[in-house]
Amino acid sequence: MELLSFEGQSVLDSRDVAEMIGKRHDHLIRDIDSYVKDVDQNPILGNGYTSTITSNEFFIPSTYNLKNGRQYRNYLLTQKGCEFVANKMTGKKGNQFTAQYVSLFNSMKQEIQSNRKPDSYMIEDPIKRAKRWIEEREAYEKALPKAQYFDKQMHNPGLMTITEIAEPYGMSSKAMNRKLHELGVQYRQGRSWVLYQKYKNQGYAQPEPYAHKDNNGVTNLLKWTQKGKKFIYDLLAEHGIKPVLEHSDYLDLDGE
């Protein structure tokens, strides 16, 4: 049992959570689906205010592959998500689960704090303080491109074209479409790309009508959701393909 890291935050795989609470994973997925639906309805809170809470603060959609090549759904649970699940439980199982996830998350926080260098403003010695400030500045300047990438790419709530998804990889839309075809995600049907059956109805993408500039009719342009973008990211990562800003020369923040 271990914590995973997703976009800088600690999470637990729903498969591990299911094991911890003694529930079948498909049953837990069914329960979380209902929680997500309820949270994302954004009910009116009163006085005209609407909740800005989203289910991604608790449950992050994900997928995993088995050795037979089949893909299944799972969720990544944040600490809030674990609390959500724990609040739905009663008795011994609920108490045991609460104790386990609280211990895991607290241990991770303590490890991060123990490995963290003091901020420059906390150092009294002026020479050491200056050296630490230089380290902080260099780390910030090196991390900034990656932070801007995630801010722009990972938190954009709208539908995206394949061109937008391909750009961070230094690829053209044609190259990305070919790669997804090679990996068995989509195939060409006339002038349009279509998802293979196993990936349909997964919420990854949806077709939108596109009028060609040559006045040669209208075809469907496949646009991708955030869930679809994460699916592509994970799939490409499995084959050693990552965005340019995640290459080792960008991620080595310590310069060592």
pLDDT digits (tens, 9 = 90+) for 163-197: 989 988 889 999 999 999 999 999 988 778 999 98
- Which residues pair with residue 188 across a beta bridge? 193
Same domain, 111 and 124: no
Same domain, 183 and 224: yes
Q: What is the pLDDT of residues 84-108, one digit of tens each?
A: 999 888 778 778 888 888 888 877 6
Q: Are 194 and 187 in contact (CB under 8 A)?
A: yes
State both tokens at 47.
Answer: 């006085």
Same domain, 185 and 95: no
Range of the domain at 194: 162-251
Same domain, 208 and 146: no
Full DSSP string of 93-134: HHHHHHHHHHHHHHHHHHHHHHHPPPPGGG--SHHHHHHHHH
**Residue 256 located in a structural domain:** no
Same domain, 138 and 47: no
Name the pLDDT band for 68 (thresholds 50, 70, 90): confident
For the chain, how many structural domains are there in total? 3
Last residue of a domain, one of 153, 178, 199: 153
Same domain, 127 and 194: no
